[in-house]
């Protein structure tokens, strides 16, 4: 029964109905509270609903039950990540990798957690940031004889501009002795470098500060520095002439590639697909460091239903993107387009497996709602095809007969197994649902039996067995009024059915027993407790009109006589009598 509920939960999860998945997994956990897989699955369902607190609770329970299971730590990390506990997420993924160092899901989760932690971490200020800020930097570099000559060198000027834009870029240029000398000038320290074996060592010696100069000399120095800084800042922007021929050519090729891409985009919007492909192909020839040309061409192939070409371009984009360390969103886009193409060419349920795997890889790169929807659609299509491929009425009949044999031998769990297989083989046969409902009733699994009986009636409203099964379940649940209604509904389709007539008789006996007050104290207490959980009984008791009616029955016989003429009121009174809430004397 736990496996049955788990299977329902997995099916609901695959179809994107995460609330139903949580419900089914909860049912399974109630039946098998020590099964770590059930908590893991429910954690994933909660996470999909963005209910990360419950996801964390279930993930922790999974790890407690099975501390050597890597997937438990994957669930734990995902829940922590959803709650913004980045360091806890990193810790969870690392613990999982200690158990299974080659687990791709844990590796991907760890990378995501570390990236999230880095994004959340406030940027640290570079201690040299102020020294490189503003025009004063250029003035001081111009005033110093040692660095003034460097300002005529385009690569040095570019390095200074990079550092000025982002002081953290300083780390990129520390090996350049000119930069070290510039740092010394800006910080008023003298930095020398000397070769000492295999190591380069720096010595800093204090140099006289500008403030030690006479005031007049300081003023003249500041004036010269300001004039030089103004000239330097004007010439600081590197001109085309400052680039090497190779750099100039590369820049021009990138510019032409972007124009080809724009032309391709315009043609794509006009559905001029062949022209768009030509432009994207030219862009790729001009610049092989931008994978957007490949992903755009893949999109065109997808529109043209040239799925193999689309897949090849997506594979090239992913491979090249890894080499270039491209934005993870671009990698995810290529994988999503590949998955879409694979889904388009799928002809059987197994063909959807590579598409589903590709969508899952895309989501590890970037969790995009469009990709998630495509994944859910692919999983749903796979499931529907599996059902179609599995459909076989003849085998379904054979499995049902096997279930009947086990039922006769009172081996109800085995019977349930065969009836379930019969339903998978032919989900439109009401008899299999009816028979499985009878098994569930024998096993005391009333909710499952009721659900199967209702499905049986839904498939064939004229099938009397369905009403008999449903009425029997309701009778065992002591819902005599509901059972009576079910039996009566069945008699509309088969007025002479003896099982239904017997069901009506049993229900009336129980209802009259309550009306006469013949219930034992234990029976009355049990029936009242059950009735108070029934929403219908609760609504009757909370209805102000019915409250007054009950008072009149006790205190005002004349008014009570009038109430008996109202069929709606008497119907509600009868429900309260059957429930043991009130008694008529």
Q: What pLDDT is recorded for position 192?
A: 54
User: Which three-class secondary structure string do you get for 505-541?
Assistant: HHHHHHHHHHHHCCCCHHHHHHHHHHHCCCHHHHHHH
Residue 484 has pLDDT above 50, yes or no: yes
Q: What pLDDT is recorded for position 580?
A: 65
Q: What is the pTM of this model?
A: 0.40
Domain boundaries defined on the chain: 1-120, 135-187, 252-367, 391-518, 530-579
Six-digit token pair at 547? 């409250």
> Same CATH fold, 530-579 and 391-518?
no
Residue 219 has pLDDT above 70, yes or no: no
User: Which of the four pLDDT bands, split at 50, 70 and 90, describes residue 583?
Assistant: low
Domain boundaries 1-120, corresponding CATH code: 1.25.40.10
Domain boundaries 391-518, corresponding CATH code: 1.25.40.10
Q: What pLDDT is recorded for position 473?
A: 93
| Beta carbons of 131 and 186 less than 8 angstroms apart | yes
Q: What pLDDT is recorded for position 530?
A: 66
Coil, helix or strand at residue 176: coil
CA 464 to chain CA centroid, Å, is 44
Q: What pLDDT is recorded for position 206?
A: 35
Q: What pLDDT is recorded for position 190?
A: 61
Which is it for the CA torsion 102, 108, 114, 118, positive or negative? positive
Q: What pLDDT is recorded for position 527?
A: 65
Angle at CA of residue 355, ends 352 and 356, nearest 5°:
85
Residue 534 has pLDDT above 60, yes or no: yes
Q: What pLDDT is recorded for position 145?
A: 83
Q: The CATH number of 530-579 is which of 1.10.260.100, 1.20.58.100, 3.10.180.10, 3.20.20.80? A: 1.10.260.100
Q: How far apart are CA 26 and CA 7, in angstroms?
A: 12
User: Could you say which DSSP state residue 109 is in?
Assistant: H
Q: Token match 């004229």: residue?
A: 462
Q: How far apart are CA 222 and CA 214, in angstroms?
A: 12
Which is it for the CA torsion 485, 490, 491, 497, positive or negative? negative
| Beta carbons of 186 and 178 less than 8 angstroms apart | no
Estimate the crossing angle of helix 2-14 against helix 36-48, to 10 degrees.
Answer: 30
Region for residue 410 given its phi and psi (left: phi exceeds 0; alpha: psi -120 to 50; beta: otherwise): left
Six-digit token pair at 428? 């439109």
Q: How far apart are CA 224 and CA 97, in angstroms?
A: 62
Estimate the crossing angle of helix 273-286 against helix 245-269, to 10 degrees.
Answer: 170
CATH C-level class of 252-367: mainly alpha
pLDDT, tens digit (0-9, with 9 covering 90-100), for 22-49: 999 998 998 888 899 999 999 999 988 8
| Beta carbons of 467 and 486 less than 8 angstroms apart | yes
Q: How far apart are CA 146 and CA 447, in angstroms?
A: 88
Q: For the chain, what's the residue count?
A: 585
| Beta carbons of 438 and 419 less than 8 angstroms apart | no
Q: What pLDDT is recorded for position 448?
A: 93
More confident residue, 260 or 206: 260
Least confidently predicted of 172-186, 199-213, 445-459: 199-213
pLDDT, tens digit (0-9, with 9 covering 90-100), for 491-511: 999 999 999 999 999 988 888
* DSSP characters over 357-426: HHHHHHHHH---HHHHHHHHHHHHHHHHHHHHHH--HHHHHHHHHHHHHHHHTT-HHHHHHHHHHHHHH-
pLDDT, tens digit (0-9, with 9 covering 90-100), for 232-282: 444 434 333 445 677 778 888 888 989 999 999 999 999 999 999 999 999
Which is it for the CA torsion 518, 522, 525, 530, positive or negative? negative
User: Which of the four pLDDT bands, split at 50, 70 and 90, describes residue 75?
Assistant: very high
CA 37 to chain CA centroid, Å, is 18
Q: Any bridge partners for residue 566, and if so which?
A: none
CA 381 to chain CA centroid, Å, is 19
- Residue/partner pairs of 519-523 with CB below 8 Å, 24 or more apart: 519/580, 523/580
Averaged pLDDT for residues 497-526: 80
User: Which of the four pLDDT bands, split at 50, 70 and 90, describes residue 208?
Assistant: very low
Residue 136 has pLDDT above 80, yes or no: no
Q: Tell the burial category of 341 from Cβ atoms under 10 Å away from its Cβ (0-12, 13-18, 19+).
A: buried
User: Which stretch, 141-145, 460-464, 567-571, has highest mean pLDDT?
Assistant: 460-464
Six-digit token pair at 537? 């009984």
Q: What pLDDT is recorded for position 521?
A: 72
């Amino acid at each position: 029964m736990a496996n049955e509920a788990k299977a329902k939960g997995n099916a609901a999860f695959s179809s994107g109905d995460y609330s139903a998945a949580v419900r089914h997994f909860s049912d399974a956990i109630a039946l098998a509270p020590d099964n770590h897989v059930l908590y893991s699955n429910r954690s994933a369902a909660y996470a999909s609903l963005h209910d990360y607190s419950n996801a964390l609770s279930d993930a922790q329970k999974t790890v407690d039950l099975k501390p050597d299971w890597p997937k438990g730590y994957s669930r734990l990390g995902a829940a922590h990540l959803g709650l913004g506990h980045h360091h806890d997420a990193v810790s969870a993924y690392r613990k999982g990798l200690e158990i299974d160092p080659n687990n791709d899901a844990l590796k991907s989760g760890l990378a995501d957690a570390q990236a999230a932690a880095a994004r959340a971490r406030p940027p640290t200020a570079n201690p040299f940031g102020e020294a490189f800020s503003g025009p004063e930097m250029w003035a001081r570099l111009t005033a110093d004889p040692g660095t003034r000559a460097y300002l005529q060198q385009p690569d040095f000027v570019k390095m200074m501009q990079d550092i000025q834009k982002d002081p953290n870029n300083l780390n990129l240029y520390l090996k350049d002795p000119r930069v070290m000398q510039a740092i010394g000038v800006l910080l008023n320290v003298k930095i020398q470098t000397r070769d000492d074996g295999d190591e380069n060592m720096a010595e800093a010696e204090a140099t006289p500060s500008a403030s030690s100069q006479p005031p007049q000399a300081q003023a003249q120095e500041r004036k010269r520095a300001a004039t030089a800084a103004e000239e330097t800042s004007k010439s600081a922007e590197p001109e085309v002439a400052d680039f090497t021929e190779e750099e100039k050519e590369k820049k021009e090729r990138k510019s032409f590639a972007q124009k080809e891409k724009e032309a391709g985009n315009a043609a794509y919007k006009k559905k001029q697909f062949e022209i768009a492909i030509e432009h994207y192909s030219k862009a790729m020839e001009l610049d092989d460091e931008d994978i957007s040309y490949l992903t755009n061409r893949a999109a065109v192939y997808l529109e043209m239903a040239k799925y193999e070409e689309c897949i090849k371009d997506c594979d090239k984009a992913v491979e090249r993107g890894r080499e270039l360390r491209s934005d993870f969103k671009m990698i995810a886009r290529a994988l999503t387009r590949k998955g879409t193409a694979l889904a388009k060419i799928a002809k059987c349920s197994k063909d959807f497996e590579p598409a589903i795997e590709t969508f899952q890889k895309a989501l590890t790169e970037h969790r995009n709602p469009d990709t998630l929807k495509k994944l859910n659609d692919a999983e749903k299509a796979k499931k529907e095809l599996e059902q179609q491929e599995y459909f076989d009425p003849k085998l379904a009949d054979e499995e049902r007969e096997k279930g009947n044999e086990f039922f006769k031998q009172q081996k109800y769990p085995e019977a349930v197994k065969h009836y379930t297989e019969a339903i998978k083989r032919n989900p439109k046969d009401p008899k299999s649902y009816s028979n499985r409902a009878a098994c569930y009733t024998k096993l005391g699994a009333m909710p499952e039996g009721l659900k199967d009986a209702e499905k049986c009636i839904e498939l064939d409203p004229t099938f009397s067995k369905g009403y008999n099964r449903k009425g029997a379940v309701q009778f065992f649940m002591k819902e005599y009024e509901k059972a009576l209604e079910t039996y009566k509904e069945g008699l509309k389709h088969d007025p002479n059915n003896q099982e239904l007539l017997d069901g009506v008789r049993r229900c009336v006996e129980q209802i009259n027993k309550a009306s006469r007050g013949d219930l034992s104290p234990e029976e009355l207490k049990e029936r009242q407790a059950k009735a108070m959980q029934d929403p219908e009984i609760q609504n009757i008791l909370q209805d102000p009109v019915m409250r007054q009616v009950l008072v009149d029955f006790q205190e005002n016989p004349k008014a009570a006589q009038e109430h008996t003429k109202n069929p709606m009121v008497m119907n509600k009174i009868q429900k309260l009598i059957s429930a043991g809430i009130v008694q008529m004397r």
